[in-house]
Homo-oligomer: A and B are copies of this chain.
Amino acid sequence: MDNLMDVLKERLKEKGFKLTPQRRAILNIVFENQGKHLNTEEIYGLVKDECPEIGLATVYRTLQLLEDMELVSRLNLDDGCSRYEFNSHEDDHQHHHLICEVCGDVIEVEIDLLEQLESEIEKLYKFKIKDHKVKFNGVCSDCRK
């Protein structure tokens, strides 16, 4: 999708950054692997097909950059590394994840019933909530068989 790169270019320009092949390639990899929740090392491996010269540090830097401009989201699945997903749902809250403790699969949940809980918390604790992260651990349908 060319439109995607236009968005990237635009957001980079806003903050005085440049659109480089590395940045383009990394965003592409994350975009093409939606639902996969790749970690930095995996992204590094995949992006090398496109940019064989790329360094791991650049991957780390770029993912941070892409997170800053809200094109990707960093996930913490408690497996010792950061994972990333393409951020399709711009403004609103993130979706949630079901993490299967048997096969390790990660399923995305689109329901969001946390609004009422949030408003209750905001009232009770006078805490301004800006974001929430919800993880469910359990066993997926396949592994229950």
- Any B CB within 8 A of the CB of A135: yes
Residue of B nearest to A100 (CB): B127
Inter-chain CA distance A36–B118, complex, in Å, is: 23
Number of copies: 2
Kindly identify which residue among B78, B116, B132, B139 contacts A130, using a CB–CB cutoff of 8 Å: B139
- Rounded to whole Å, the gap between the CB of A37 and the closest CB of chain B is 16
Kindly identify which residue among B111, B116, B137 contacts A131, using a CB–CB cutoff of 8 Å: B137
Contact B128 A138 (CB under 8 A): yes
Within 8 A of B (CB), among A107-131: 107, 109, 111, 113-114, 116-118, 120-121, 124-131
- Rounded to whole Å, the gap between the CB of A95 and the closest CB of chain B is 12
| Total count of chain A residues near the partner, CB < 8 A | 34
- Any B CB within 8 A of the CB of A136: yes
- Rounded to whole Å, the gap between the CB of A39 and the closest CB of chain B is 16
Contact A131 B136 (CB under 8 A): yes
- Any B CB within 8 A of the CB of A76: yes
- Any B CB within 8 A of the CB of A5: no
Q: A111-B124, A131-B137 are in contact. List 18 more A-B contacts (CB 8 A).
A: A98-B127, A107-B127, A109-B125, A111-B121, A113-B116, A113-B117, A125-B140, A127-B138, A127-B139, A128-B144, A129-B136, A130-B137, A130-B139, A131-B136, A132-B137, A133-B134, A134-B134, A134-B135
